[in-house]
Amino acid sequence: RLASDANPLVGRPFYVNPNSKGTRAAAGNPDPLLAAVVNTPTAYWMDHLSTPAVDAKYIATAQAAGTMPVLALYGIPSRDCGSFAA
């Protein structure tokens, strides 16, 4: 049984990476539609190319901003029979 039925995401916005390619590309462009796109949270992919140090820094940066990082775990060993779905 859970200690609390409360939703842990209430009041915690998702992290928007200010250093994303989209944010950098949109810098200086006042278009509100473009701003809406680049200010939409996206997932940070944790896969065989990432390292624990880089992953931890991303998560810590999101937490320091008072936000919740969105993480996508990819290529988890033994996640399915033979990894045929990858």
pLDDT for the residue 15: 97
- The answer, as to whether pTM is greater than 0.85, is no
Sketch the domain layout of the chain as residue ranges. 21-77
Question: Tokens in use for 45?
Answer: 């992919």
What is the chain's alpha carbon radius of gyration, rounded to the nearest angstrom?
16
pLDDT(9) > 60: yes
Average pLDDT over residues 18-43: 91
How much is the pLDDT for 14? Answer: 97
Reference 15, options 69, 71, 72; nearest CA is: 69
